[in-house]
Every structure is written in structure tokens, then in C-alpha cells.
Chain A
Amino acid sequence: MRWIRRNLVVIAGLLTLAYMILPNLVVMAFSFNKPKGRFNYSWQEFSLDAWKDPCGVADMCESLSLSLQLAAWATVGAVVLGTMIAFALVRYRFRARGAINSLIFLPMAMPEVVMAASLLTLFLNMGIELGFWTVLIAHIMFCLSFVVTAVKARVMSMDPRLEEAARDLYAGPTQTFLRVTLPIAAPGIAAGALLAFALSFDDFIITNFNAGSTVTFPMFVWGSAQRGTPVQINVIGTAMFALAVLVVVAGQIITNRRKKTATA
């Protein structure tokens, strides 16, 4: 009893973690299921069918590749625009800074459905056809603020004296930027890019409003929730989870090695 009281925080924390991981375990388990009906909600029997044929469902892999392309372009757009804004906000003093800061904060402080609906009214009023391009525009828009915040945090903690030192050592502005500024800002930019990619890839609400008849992966999953969920959806979900864990673990190993070689 005393042991429980002393470790109350640890126990509560691990219970929360279990709550967060539980659905992923269910998704994983049900990727090996062989459902009898259209819906993959109850356990029937073990089978590897879905793993052997992950693209066996009509249109699913097409939607997946569309989502990946969209996320890649949205990341490029948001990172370029967002990094420029972040540098301007941290490195320069100018008028309208307050206004610009709130313009960047507002998209994050707005329920997604409000942004989604307002963008739709814009496109409808302008007679723009909904599809890949309207979704891309929307994704860059809502990822932008998150990239700015991530990059800003990093640039703010940068020591400007490092750049001064580079200039003192006769590095030109281009050289200073490419060899000093950019490498130091890189982790912030990478974090922003990763966030943008994940947000865009997983976005449903804004895409739902502005996609027209274009079907991204989240929209495919949404549709299948009404029509019948193929097991392959669980396969993709499990594969993404495993891939993410692998990438993070690999990244961790690389940074650990670098630290060791740096101290050695």
C-alpha cells in the first residue's frame, strides 16, 4: 500500500500511456483478422491475407499516394514560407510586428471547422474548382503557423555572436548563412517540417470541406467507416506506426553516436 502511494505518479502516468497506446494495439491486432462481414470491428480468426495484399482494396493505395504527395508539397511550401517569416520576426525590428504575430497565431486558435468552412465559401464565391490544388492551398495555410512557431523557437535561442564570428573570419553573407545560420537553425526547421508533414497527412476536417471529389487517405478511411472497413486499413495504420517508431529510434541512435564522437 505504501509502495502504491509512493509511486502514485508513476502508476497514473503509465495508465495514461496505456490509454494512449491501446487503440494502436487494437489496430495492430485487427490487421491480422479475417472479418466475416464488411466491418472489421470484431475478432473472427487469425489471417495474414491483408498483409500479403496491402493494396488489394480498390482506390486505397491511390488515396495513400495522393496523401503522401500532398503532404510533401504542403511541407515544402509551409517550410519555405514559414522559415522566412520566422527569421524576419526574430531577427528584425519593424512596424506591424504585433499585427503579424496575431495573424500567425489566429489560425492555431481557430476551430478547424471554421477555417474549413470559410475557405470553402472563398472557393465557391470565386468559382474555383475543388480538388488537389484547393487542398494543397489549405494545407499550406494551416501548416504555416506551426512551422513559424517551431522555427522561431530555435532561431530565438541562437547566439547571434556565432554569425558575427563568421563575419569576422571574412565569411561572406551567403557563406555565413549557408555554413553557420542554416545548420544551427536546421533542427527547428526539421521539427517544423515533420510537424507540417504529419498535420497535412492526417488532416481530415479541412480536406473534407475543400477536396471536392478528390479522395485523400483520411477521406478514404472516413468513407470506409460508412461503407465497410477493409482490413488493409489496419495494415497501413500498423505499418505507419512501426515506420515512425523506427525513424525515431534510428534518429536517436545517430544523435547518440554524434554526441559520443563529439565528446571523445
Chain B
Amino acid sequence: MSTSTLTKEETAPPTGEPVLRKPSTRKRLVPYWLLLPGIIWLLVFFALPMVYQASTSVQTGSLEQGFQVTWHFQTYWDAFQEYWPQFVRSLLYAGTATLLCLLLGYPLAYLIAFKAGRWRNLLLVLVIAPFFTSFLIRTLAWKTILADDSLVVDALNALHVLDVTSWIGWTEGDRVLATPMAVVCGLTYNFLPFMILPLYTSLERIDGRLHEAAQDLYASPATTFRKVTFPLSMPGVVSGTLLTFIPASGDYVNAELLGSTDTKMVGNVIQSQFLRVLDYPTAAALSFILMAIVLVMVTVYIRRAGTEDLV
């Protein structure tokens, strides 16, 4: 569509003022024509649904009699009071998983960006390739890995790791499956690539000569990392943590497959309220509370990370 309007413009010779003005308004419309279909799609299937969900959250009624908008804001308070443990748990699990992703992902991203040499592409493939085995299948594989008496669990037991985690309540006895640790392990695993790829992109952009300069100025490797590499990788850290934390906070797959009834997250509650209990107002309210919490946390985080970046 855009090309045809352009053709007309170019073939019409600009002889006088009025002729010249007409194509220029046309040209001004080109970006809007390009945007229109996609933006309409997002408005109708992303923004409008949010409005519908907002209206659903203040309705009362039942499935048999139908729901009416009664501006019943009480639903929000009731839902929060009943399910705040799941909210706390979601934020705690997602936060821990994000932190673990950063700790585990940083060395690998660093390795690929600076130390891999000709192995770089192979390592990148190995980071992305697991994506192509459906994530549900891979999550189910953790059931085998973390099963009682599996090699991993036996090793953790022998190293007395499970004593510590049991003491803080993340595992039970010598079991790992169906405990918070299994859920966090699954979350960390599932979102690691979302941390590694942005970290890698921002690390790769760093000019290697800056490291040499730091060394020439007698900075130790640790100081070089603290004062040069890490600050310059901040864009990657910020986008990586966001790409990990946001989806993890709403996830219900890991909690369902690897956890127990004591490890349910908000996602699980929203899912069952919507699809099993069919209590739409409560489900909509819960979903909005989650959205609000995430948006507020993300905004505050971006502000703070942004100012740190400037210092």
C-alpha cells in the first residue's frame, strides 16, 4: 500500500505549490497506514481485554444467573485477604529465581562474550537450542532429576545441602520434589535463557580495550570487573532481570508440575478461579492486583537502576 502511494508521488512532477502540497500530506499519512493494522490488533486484543477484565472484576453474580456490574470493589479486598500468602510466595519465588538466574547466567554470558573464541557460536546454540524442546517436556524432566533417591538429590544430601535448606523450610527431610526448592529450581531453569541473552548482548558491546586500559592503570581483575565490566553491562542486567522476574511472577506451570499444594503461586489461583471454579470477578481482581504489583515494582526498579547507571 505504501509503495503504490509513493509511486504516484514520484511520477507527479512537482510543478507548482498546490501540486506539491498534496503529495506531501499523502506522504505524511504513510506511517499511519503502516501502523494501522498492527495497532488495531493490539488495541482490540490487548487493551480492550484489559477494560473488559476491569469491568469483570467489579461485577457480582453467579454463573447461572449471570454477572452484573455492581461496582463491588470489595472483591479486591476479599481476594487479597484470602490469597495474600500466594502473592507473597509468587514474589519470593520469582525474586529468588531471578537472583539465581543472574548469579548463574552472568558467568556463562561472560564466558561466551569474552573467553569462548571460536567456540562462541556453539555455546550460543547450546543456550538457545533447549528452547526447541517444548518447555513443558523439559520441566517434566526435572521430576526425574529431582526424584527421591536420584543422583542429584543423593549428592545434595551427601553435601549436607538439604540439611540447610530443610532448616530454612525450602525442602522437607531428604525430599526435594514437591517443595519450594523444586519450584524455584524449575523457575530458574526455565527463565535462564531470558537472562543470559540480554547479558550477552550488553557484554559483547563492551570494548575490550577498556579492560586493557583498566589493567594498565593497575586495576586487579576484580576491580576491573566491579568498576568497568559490571557497570557497562547494566542495561543487560536490567532487561535480563525484568525478562525473568515478570514472567516468573505469573507462572503457574512450575508450581503445578514440581510443587505441592503448599507451593501454589498467584498464577495457580488465577488459573483455577478462571478455568475450574468459574468465579470470574475474583479471578479478574487477582489478575489486576498481580498486574499492579508487577508494574509498580518494575517502575521503581527501572528508576533506581537508571539512576545507578548515571552515577
Residues of chain A having any CB pair with chain B under 8 Å: 8-10, 12-17, 19-24, 26-27, 30, 41-42, 80-82, 84-85, 87-89, 91-92, 94, 100, 103-104, 106-107, 109-115, 117-122, 124-125, 137-138, 140-141, 144, 148, 172-174, 177, 198, 201-202, 204-205, 208-209, 217-218, 221-222, 225, 229, 233-234, 236-238, 240-241, 243-245, 248-249, 252
| Contact assessment for B134 and A82 in the assembled complex, using a CB-CB cutoff below 8 Å | no
Main secondary structure, interface of B, reads helix
B74 close to A (CB within 8 Å): no
Instruction: Tell whether A144 pairs with B189 under 8 Å between CB atoms, given A20-B130, A244-B129.
Output: no
| Contact assessment for A237 and B134 in the assembled complex, using a CB-CB cutoff below 8 Å | yes
Instruction: Tell whether A117 pairs with B52 under 8 Å between CB atoms, given A13-B110, A221-B140.
Output: no
Closest approach, in angstroms, between the C-beta of B33 and any C-beta of chain A? 8
Instruction: Tell whether A117 pairs with B134 under 8 Å between CB atoms, given A84-B34, A111-B290.
Output: no
B147 close to A (CB within 8 Å): yes
Nearest A residue to B105 via CB reads A16
| Contact assessment for A104 and B42 in the assembled complex, using a CB-CB cutoff below 8 Å | yes
**Neighbour of B291 across the interface among A17, A114, A208, CB < 8 A:** A114
Chain A residues contacting B110 (CB-CB under 8 Å) are 9, 13
Can you spell out 26 A-B residue pairs with CB atoms less than 8 angstroms apart?
A12-B108, A15-B104, A16-B105, A20-B126, A23-B145, A24-B129, A81-B37, A84-B38, A88-B30, A88-B32, A88-B34, A94-B31, A103-B43, A109-B295, A112-B247, A114-B250, A117-B274, A117-B283, A141-B42, A174-B7, A198-B132, A205-B267, A237-B133, A241-B133, A243-B132, A244-B131
Closest approach, in angstroms, between the C-beta of B128 and any C-beta of chain A? 8
What mask results when residues 119 to 141 of chain B are scored 1 for a CB within 8 Å of chain A, else 0?
00101011111111111111111
Find the residue from B7, B49, B270 having the highest chain A CB count within 10 A.
B49
**Neighbour of A225 across the interface among B46, B50, B257, CB < 8 A:** B257
Complex Cα spacing A75 to B253, Å: 24
Chain B residues contacting A204 (CB-CB under 8 Å) are 135-136, 253
Complex Cα spacing A91 to B45, Å: 26
Main secondary structure, interface of A, reads helix
Chain B residues contacting A13 (CB-CB under 8 Å) are 107-108, 110-112, 115
Closest approach, in angstroms, between the C-beta of A110 and any C-beta of chain B? 7
Residues in B46-73 with C-beta less than 8 Å from chain A = 46-50, 52-53, 56
Complex Cα spacing A138 to B50, Å: 14
Nearest B residue to A153 via CB reads B201
Nearest B residue to A39 via CB reads B143
A-B pairs with lowest CB-CB distance, top 5: A111-B250, A13-B111, A244-B132, A92-B31, A12-B107
Complex Cα spacing A172 to B135, Å: 47
Closest approach, in angstroms, between the C-beta of A145 and any C-beta of chain B? 8
Nearest A residue to B270 via CB reads A113
What mask results when residues 216 to 250 of chain B are scored 1 for a CB within 8 Å of chain A, else 0?
00000000000000000000000000100011011
Instruction: Tell whether A22 pairs with B145 under 8 Å between CB atoms, given A9-B110, A27-B133.
Output: yes
Complex Cα spacing A145 to B41, Å: 11
Find the residue from B52, B133, B287 having the highest chain A CB count within 10 A.
B133
| Contact assessment for A233 and B137 in the assembled complex, using a CB-CB cutoff below 8 Å | yes
Chain A residues contacting B283 (CB-CB under 8 Å) are 117
Chain A residues contacting B32 (CB-CB under 8 Å) are 88, 94
Closest approach, in angstroms, between the C-beta of A188 and any C-beta of chain B? 14
| Contact assessment for A121 and B280 in the assembled complex, using a CB-CB cutoff below 8 Å | yes
Closest approach, in angstroms, between the C-beta of A199 and any C-beta of chain B? 9
Chain A residues contacting B287 (CB-CB under 8 Å) are 113-114, 117-118
Closest approach, in angstroms, between the C-beta of A225 and any C-beta of chain B? 6
Nearest A residue to B11 via CB reads A172
Chain B residues contacting A244 (CB-CB under 8 Å) are 128-129, 131-132
**Neighbour of A218 across the interface among B128, B134, B250, B280, CB < 8 A:** B134
Chain B residues contacting A21 (CB-CB under 8 Å) are 126, 130
Complex Cα spacing A106 to B295, Å: 10
**Neighbour of A92 across the interface among B30, B107, B108, B131, CB < 8 A:** B30
**Neighbour of B129 across the interface among A94, A225, A245, A252, CB < 8 A:** A245
Nearest A residue to B1 via CB reads A84
| Contact assessment for A20 and B144 in the assembled complex, using a CB-CB cutoff below 8 Å | no
Chain A residues contacting B144 (CB-CB under 8 Å) are 26, 30, 41-42
| Contact assessment for B250 and A20 in the assembled complex, using a CB-CB cutoff below 8 Å | no
| Contact assessment for B10 and A111 in the assembled complex, using a CB-CB cutoff below 8 Å | no
Nearest B residue to A33 via CB reads B144
Chain A residues contacting B295 (CB-CB under 8 Å) are 109
| Contact assessment for B140 and A225 in the assembled complex, using a CB-CB cutoff below 8 Å | yes
